[in-house]
A and B are shown apart, each in its own frame.
With several copies, the nearest count.
Chain A
Amino acid sequence: MKRKSKLRALINLLAPFLGLILVLVIFSSIPDVQSRFLRAANLKSVATQSVIVALGALGMTLIIISGGIDLSAASNIALSSVVTAYAINAGLPPLLAIVLGMATGGLVGFINGSLITGLRLVPFIITLGMMGIARGVAKWMAGNQKIDAPLTWVNELMAKSPQPSWLLLAPGVWLMIFLAVATAVLLRYTVFGRHVFAIGSNEATARLCGVRTKRAKIIIYSLAGLFCGLSGVMEFSRLTVGDPTVAVGLELDIIAAVVIGGGSLSGGEGSILGSMIGVFIMSFLRNGCTMMGWPNYIQEIIIGVIIVAAVSLDQIRHRRSA
């Protein structure tokens, strides 16, 4: 009896990871890449590659749980990376440049939130508009080019082999982990987090129960904007240039990660753990396919199939447990 329940506890613990495990198992069992796929060096590089989408997904999770959507996330990342590069290029101290980059992201998010609550338009429209605006401003600032900024310690944030080597992972990865935990705590253990769920589940109810829905939404979008800003900083750190055309279409990857991780576009559902798993499912899929050297079209097909499979698996489990 006891052993059985322990086993069940283990299964329950692993359950959300099912899709991810599926992907890992597939690639670890292909003889061709087996030996290299699960190596520390590869895991490190997948982790680093995931930081940008993961940071975006943290904010997007908040937004999607609250019943919204942010199409401007990718443009915001590009804009923030350009601002950071611009600032460093202008000779500002790197730390200030980072702050400016994040602030830009936060500002875009704040504007999103204010317009959504102020004009009472659906988030889809506002952030669609902002998607063009932020991208346009980024290109403008950068003069339609990329900005080559001198190398500083900012570029070390996403170095696969971090400088003090005891760090093991790039500082950006640690930051991502820290922020993921912090956001998860925010969502689960604070009043604000609970309000985010309530707004997404039934906004009218939240309002009638005295939740300040407008304020909460502005905070949600601003927070998400800050995350995008940080993601932009990381993008700059990785690219070493400020590129206004970077991350085109990345908003879909970010949203997909959240949805794969159980977020519902109609609000009220989602989790940080899930979204992070979603991010890593996609990263490992791409990584594995590249390692296999499969042509891109095969890769696209396989990723499509596995996304559906992974989420189906998760769904079946959910239905079982319900």
Chain B
Amino acid sequence: GKNKATPPAPGEAKVFKIAVIPKGTTHEFWKSIHAGALQAAREQGVEILWKGPQKEDDRAQQITVVEDVISRGVAGIVLAPLDDRALCRPVQDAMREKIPVIIIDSGLQGKDYISFVATDNYQGGVLAAKRMGELLQGQGRIFLIRYQEGSASTTERERGFLETVQKEFPGFRLLVKDQYAGSTTESAYQLAENLIGRFPDVEGIFCPNESSTFGTLRALQESQLAGKVKFVGFDSSPKLVQALRDGHLHGLVLQNPVKMGYLGVTEMVQHLRGQKIPELVDTGVYLATKENMDTAEIKALLTPDLSILD
């Protein structure tokens, strides 16, 4: 690959092809990123190649995708790494082939990329813990339902939640903190159902991502506990928004995936055009509650405009 040796001068008519590589392709979260990326691509007049690992959340396959995209030849790569370490080498390979890389969503070790655009996941967990503390006045029996072993961003959220609870709310008793919901809604549903069967007196639950939140929500609804148990989740989907409105969910920590996708691509284009870009961008975490869900800011995050994808 010697063809993309120098970034073309600004204003050149050449259409860049930029690969955007998510962790998976079938969640609302990634669709939002896709929408943001597409928006940016339209504005900047570039093309994007949207390609995730074939198996959701499979880091070995994501490495393969990065390698294949390098083989194919693109102007730049915007990557949401499934692993902060495993993806280092393919990213290095890309840089060696003179393909710049911007990291979004989750961190990557080393410094082989040009910019990092992400949510502070730990902060997200902290936000959730604080909300839980507020809901239960810092007293009560709660669950932390984890997402999946080895998933870095959710582990950070879980850590943020756990540490905040231990530090600030000694009145909480964690009934469960080592159970993993697994990657599908169904597995989360079953886990939550079984946990509720075991501890029917639970008072608060936190889940660190959309699938585990939704699965747990279904279990609560089925056990007639929805609304009674204080429930804080993460990320958004139409059903979760509905649950928030119905009072089945008492808080939803939100990221800004549209912005993440948008900034990822925009910065890449700017870099390719020779402009300077910031090394770190925090896209922020927000807490949606029944009270604030209709404010313009939160509403845009809860139900992002994805019409661009159609």
**B25 engages A295 (CB within 8 Å):** yes
**A160 engages B223 (CB within 8 Å):** yes
Q: Is A240 an interface residue (CB 8 A)?
A: yes
B179 cross-chain contacts in A, Cβ below 8 A: 290, 293, 295-296
B175 cross-chain contacts in A, Cβ below 8 A: 293
Q: Is B42 an interface residue (CB 8 A)?
A: no
**A36 engages B197 (CB within 8 Å):** yes
Bound state CA distance, A45 and B55, in angstroms? Answer: 19
Bound state CA distance, A248 and B189, in angstroms? Answer: 15
Of the candidates B28, B186, B198, which one forms a contact with A235 in the assembled complex, judged by CB atoms under 8 Å apart? B186
**B60 engages A239 (CB within 8 Å):** yes
Chain B 144-188 per-residue mask, 1 if CB under 8 angstroms from chain A, else 0: 000011100001000000000000000000011011100111100
Interface centre among B31, B70, B88, B190 (most CB of A within 10 A): B190
**B51 engages A290 (CB within 8 Å):** yes
Of the candidates B27, B28, B50, B190, which one forms a contact with A295 in the assembled complex, judged by CB atoms under 8 Å apart? B50
B86 closest partner in A (C-beta): A239
**B71 engages A245 (CB within 8 Å):** no
Chain B 51-88 per-residue mask, 1 if CB under 8 angstroms from chain A, else 0: 11011101110011101111111000000000101101
B54 cross-chain contacts in A, Cβ below 8 A: 286, 296, 299-300
**A290 engages B191 (CB within 8 Å):** yes
Q: Is A169 an interface residue (CB 8 A)?
A: no
Bound state CA distance, A155 and B309, in angstroms? Answer: 30
**A244 engages B68 (CB within 8 Å):** no
B93 closest partner in A (C-beta): A160
B180 closest partner in A (C-beta): A296
Q: Is A33 an interface residue (CB 8 A)?
A: yes
**Given A49-B64, A293-B49: A41 in contact with B218 (beta carbons within 8 A):** no
B180 cross-chain contacts in A, Cβ below 8 A: 144, 296
**B190 engages A296 (CB within 8 Å):** no
Q: Is A214 an interface residue (CB 8 A)?
A: no
B185 cross-chain contacts in A, Cβ below 8 A: 239, 241, 243, 246
Q: Is B26 an interface residue (CB 8 A)?
A: yes
Bound state CA distance, A160 and B83, in angstroms? Answer: 19
**A160 engages B222 (CB within 8 Å):** yes
**B69 engages A146 (CB within 8 Å):** no
CB distance from B235 to the nearest CB of A (A): 12
B58 closest partner in A (C-beta): A248
**Given A290-B65, A290-B194, A290-B195: A148 in contact with B238 (beta carbons within 8 A):** yes
Q: Is B8 an interface residue (CB 8 A)?
A: no
Q: Is A201 an interface residue (CB 8 A)?
A: no
CB distance from B102 to the nearest CB of A (A): 18
Cβ < 8 Å to B, chain A residues 286-309: 286-287, 290-291, 293, 295-296, 299-300
A293 closest partner in B (C-beta): B49
Q: Is A145 an interface residue (CB 8 A)?
A: yes
Bound state CA distance, A240 and B217, in angstroms? Answer: 11
B139 cross-chain contacts in A, Cβ below 8 A: none
**Given A36-B72, A239-B83: A286 in contact with B150 (beta carbons within 8 A):** no
**Given A247-B184, A293-B179, A296-B52: A286 in contact with B85 (beta carbons within 8 A):** no
**Given A146-B150, A291-B71: A245 in contact with B26 (beta carbons within 8 A):** yes
Additional A-B contacts beyond A240-B218, A293-B198 (17; CB < 8 A)? A36-B72, A139-B149, A146-B28, A148-B238, A238-B63, A240-B89, A241-B85, A241-B185, A243-B83, A244-B26, A245-B184, A290-B65, A291-B69, A291-B72, A291-B197, A291-B198, A296-B180
Chain A residues with a Cβ under 8 A of chain B: 33, 36, 39, 41-42, 45, 48-49, 52, 139, 142-146, 148, 155, 159-161, 235, 238-241, 243-249, 286-287, 290-291, 293, 295-296, 299-300
A-B contact pairs, 20 of them (CB 8 A): A36-B198, A39-B71, A41-B71, A143-B309, A238-B189, A239-B60, A239-B189, A241-B185, A243-B150, A243-B184, A245-B148, A245-B150, A246-B185, A247-B186, A248-B58, A286-B64, A287-B64, A293-B198, A295-B50, A296-B54
